[in-house]
Structure 1
Amino acid sequence: MNPDLLFVLLAGILGLLVGSFSNVLIWRLPRGENIAFPPSHCPKCDHPLAPKDLVPLFSWLSLGGKCRYCRAPINPRYPIVEALTGIGYAAIAAAFPFAVYGAGTLGLMVLFTILLVGSAIDLDTMTIPDELTLSGTLLGVLFGLAGAGLYAREGVLGLPNVSQAVEGALLGAGVLVAIGVFGSWVMRRFRERRFPEMPLGYQQISLGLLAGAWLGPWWGLGVAALSILVNLLARKVVRIPELLTLGGFLVSLVLSSGGTGPSIGALAQGGLMAAGAVALVCGVYWWLYWRRNPETEDDGSDEDGDPVAMGFGDVKLAAAIGAFLGWERLLMAVVAAIFAGAVLGLVQLALKKGRQIKFGPYLAFGAMVALFWGGPLLDAWQQWQNSLVQP
């Protein structure tokens, strides 16, 4: 048998097994349960499941979609997740042969699982666990070690190296959090936040956005860190007006577009990367804080607080996507996600099915578009740009 075909078949089998474990993550992570203990059991009758009950797809089919012990219906999502993971892993193995991409192929499979599990949880709870997004971002950077030298290949999606993975993660978080802070500012009709976070939060993200535009991403992170230190020393929130930070960033872009100072691209990139870096610091801080103080965790409803335009779980998910795929494919994923969200959002509005949109699944869809079609689409875009400048 052809080695590449054999690897595709093995990847599909691996995907079925990982899909079975993904169902465990989808059920247990939002509930704060241990993912290893106790062993798998029926959620209805609590009876432990035997190995014959855990064979991906086939157990569900042989049991007619019902528990062997209490005959309660088994959620069809279980075989769907297993089948999708098997198909997804096989498709990745076919598009990115292990002989060429090495461990990078396994990294893309990890990304697929993060996206699928995160989407399923988001659909259920409108949250995406930090255990997926923050650890996924770190894994994406580590898998960058396997992507060195494979980034730029004509017509084919390459993998970012470590520095490109870091850049992709920061820009991923930065683009989404910028949409969030500007969207919230508009929703508040340009009024200041009523409840700024202590000692770090959206105020520091907005400050990093402005400082990073002019000083670069790492200096922007440093300015935000200085603001955090001031809050800690003052033991209260020292307000930073958004008219100064967000308004200043917009004015900077306008001035730059007129030929004053750095280019608009450099300003935007520096600001977004700095905002992304601060956002990830906030994400890690809030994750650790809520683990110690679970009773204070924000449920995302924000009924008594400031309006939210973009969930912070989406920000961290975008960071993970950027770490695995690089910033160019990340931007493509965001564009595809916004387009898909707009189309399905209009359908949802027409059917009067509610107003809240769970953006995580759209981001996952956009990432898959960028994963499988990113290379050819970027090549077509580059050829079109070159045709515009040719005489």
Structure 2
Amino acid sequence: MENEWIIELIIFIIGICIGSFLNVVIYRVPKSENIAYPPSHCPKCGKKLKPWHNIPIISYVLLKGKCAFCREKIPIRYPVIELSTGILAVLIYKKCGVDIYSTITFIVFALFLALSMIDFDYKAVPDSLNLLALTLSFFTTPEILENFKNALILMGGMSLIRYYVSYFIKREAMGEGDIILAGSIGALLGIKLSLFAIFIASLIAIFPSLYNRIFKKDFELPFIPFLTLGTFIVWYFNDYFLNLWSKLYG
């Protein structure tokens, strides 16, 4: 279509605006703050931001990454989250088009992104966002009951692994947040593809985990970011992974 790029641009703009809202969620929800009030303000000086200070990505560039009032440095993650959400919106559109199911899928992945950033910061995630993602994941396809069943199976399997591994290593092997997220993955992907997603997430996490253990002496690695990345890779290339499953297991 000749106007396809215009549609993609509009979707990208909508995506980065949602990414701007995600930044508010990521910052405020773990602190149990209201996400709507008070309006956006600098966390350092407390000054209320003007509308032109809140333009996704553009404001960061124009302000040279600093608060317009106190010149406090603005974390680079803010435009990165906005850009990532915009790209996410376009990729989902290119794969699924626009309908109620693709819209819900986008919201679920946007929540995954927020949960990933919160997990990086706190090594824990708020149940409110995690359960919202789980609930919405049931409605990402018309097969709602099947999605619900797959979520239960994945959560049960992850819980079983958690109890056994925790017993043998004498410490918590997996957080409850990971188990809830596993339910969302099961609903999104089904059982077969979920196994690929968890495997890919584990592979990606190997080197960061080794780095944490060797150089930081930290044995706790936030796993939700890797689960999110693994899930999106498998979801986006689901046909490839389904064919791979057929070749491996018939």
Q: Which category describes the TM-score, using the shorter chain as reference length?
A: over 0.9
In the TM superposition, residue 3 of structure 1 has moved relative to its aligned partner by 5.5
CA distance in 2, matches of 1:109, 1:47: 33
Classify 1:369/1:353 alpha carbon distance in 2 versus 1 (closer, same or farther; 3 Å).
Answer: farther
Query: Which amino acid in structure 1 is aligned with residue 150 of structure 2?
Result: G
In the TM superposition, residue 176 of structure 1 has moved relative to its aligned partner by 2.1
Instruction: Report the 3-state secondary structure (helix = DSSP H, G, I; strand = E; otherwise coil) of the residue aligned with 1:68.
Output: coil
- What are the superposed Cα offsets for residues 286-313 of structure 1, whole Å, 9 maximum, x if unpaired? xxxxxxxxxxxxxxxxxxxxx3110111
- What are the superposed Cα offsets for residues 95-118 of structure 1, whole Å, 9 maximum, x if unpaired? 2222xxx21111221122111100
Matched, 1:338 2:202: yes
1:90 maps to 90
Within-5 A mapping of 1:1-391: 2=2, 4-98=4-98, 102-141=99-138, 143-144=139-140, 147-148=141-142, 161-188=143-170, 307-352=171-216, 354-386=218-250
Task: Give the length in aligned residue pairs.
Answer: 250
CA contact (8 A) 1:133 1:313 kept: yes
Instruction: Report the 3-state secondary structure (helix = DSSP H, G, I; strand = E; otherwise coil) of the residue aligned with 2:125.
Output: coil
Instruction: Report the 3-state secondary structure (helix = DSSP H, G, I; strand = E; otherwise coil) of the residue aligned with 2:212.
Output: helix
Classify 1:353/1:12 alpha carbon distance in 2 versus 1 (closer, same or farther; 3 Å).
Answer: farther
- Deviates most, 352-361 or 364-373: 352-361
Q: Which runs of 5+ in 2 are unaligned?
A: none
Classify 1:61/1:381 alpha carbon distance in 2 versus 1 (closer, same or farther; 3 Å).
Answer: same
Larger radius of gyration: 1
CA contact (8 A) 1:167 1:327 kept: no
In the TM superposition, residue 25 of structure 1 has moved relative to its aligned partner by 0.5
Classify 1:3/1:353 alpha carbon distance in 2 versus 1 (closer, same or farther; 3 Å).
Answer: farther
In the TM superposition, residue 175 of structure 1 has moved relative to its aligned partner by 2.5
CA contact (8 A) 1:111 1:321 kept: no
In the TM superposition, residue 43 of structure 1 has moved relative to its aligned partner by 0.3
In the TM superposition, residue 339 of structure 1 has moved relative to its aligned partner by 1.7
CA contact (8 A) 1:7 1:93 kept: no
CA contact (8 A) 1:4 1:94 kept: no
CA contact (8 A) 2:111 2:133 kept: yes
Instruction: Report the 3-state secondary structure (helix = DSSP H, G, I; strand = E; otherwise coil) of the residue aligned with 1:326.
Output: helix
CA distance in 2, matches of 1:3, 1:164: 37
In the TM superposition, residue 168 of structure 1 has moved relative to its aligned partner by 2.2
- Deviates most, 68-77 or 371-380: 371-380
CA distance in 2, matches of 1:181, 1:334: 18
Q: Which runs of 5+ in 1 are unaligned?
A: 149-160, 189-306, 387-391
Give TM-score, length-normalised by structure 1: 0.61
CA distance in 1, matches of 2:112, 2:78: 16
1:295 maps to none
Query: Which amino acid in structure 2 is aligned with residue 330 of structure 1?
Result: S
CA distance in 1, matches of 2:4, 2:136: 26
Higher relative contact order (CA 8 A, sep 6+): 1
CA contact (8 A) 2:14 2:86 kept: yes
